[in-house]
A = this chain, B = another copy of it.
Amino acid sequence: MPRWDPKAQERLRAAALELFVEQGYENTTVTQITERAGLTRRTFSRYFTDKRDVLFAGSEQLPDAVSAAVLRADATLPPFQALLAALADIGGLFADLVPHAAQRRAIIASSPELQERERTKLAAVAEALAAALRERGATTSEAKLLAQVGIAVFQTAFERWTDQPEHADFTACVHETVAELASSLAPTAALVTTPEPESS
């Protein structure tokens, strides 16, 4: 048996997600997961530390990966566009999640413990994003706002894309989400930026 087998990892992931959906995350054991996958606990341990790790494997790399991607984005891009370019750039890190994205969301929504873990993960990503945007010249306040909004846009676009992957590519989903958000903000933004047109 090879030391590293993406198919074994994927079989374990698929088995775990199936069981989490069927009988609940809390009620599922690692033994049940390995039995469903037809693999050993030893194989499981090669890929995941525990059952929670099936849902979050790789997420500890996200803050550094996102930050590096923001910093290497084209220097001419303004902060929010650099952020979006960075999220597209590291899209490969999410590839494993795509086939199971809807299942994963439902499982996380079912457990306060998992929701908290997901929020902690996203907060670490937001902090890394904000730090990278400050390095690109954004103020502290602007960087924090854009990082939080960037994550909200990313989550929305990712959900739309993984719900209907045949309809568009991921970048198109991101741009559509941003356009929709911009149009929601427009009436309020106009109160500040646009003087009333003079009647002629």
Contacts and interface: CB of A to CB of B under 8 A. Distances in A.
B189 A179 contact: yes
Given A116-B116, A179-B193, A192-B179, A156 B141 contact: yes
A31 to B, nearest CB: 30
A146 B141 CA distance: 19
Nearest to A77: B187
Interface in A151-200: 151-153, 155-156, 159-160, 174-189, 191-193
Given A119-B123, A185-B80, A188-B81, A180 B142 contact: yes
Nearest to A193: B179
A146 to B, nearest CB: 6
A54 to B, nearest CB: 22
Interface SS of chain A: helix
Contacts of A123: 115, 119
A178 B192 contact: yes
A156 B181 contact: no
B81 A187 contact: yes
Contacts of A115: 123
Given A145-B156, A178-B185, 19 more contacts: A80-B185, A80-B187, A81-B188, A116-B116, A116-B119, A116-B120, A119-B120, A141-B159, A141-B160, A144-B155, A146-B184, A148-B151, A148-B152, A149-B149, A175-B188, A179-B188, A179-B191, A182-B186, A182-B189
Interface of A: 78-81, 84, 115-116, 119-120, 123, 141-142, 144-146, 148-149, 151-153, 155-156, 159-160, 174-189, 191-193
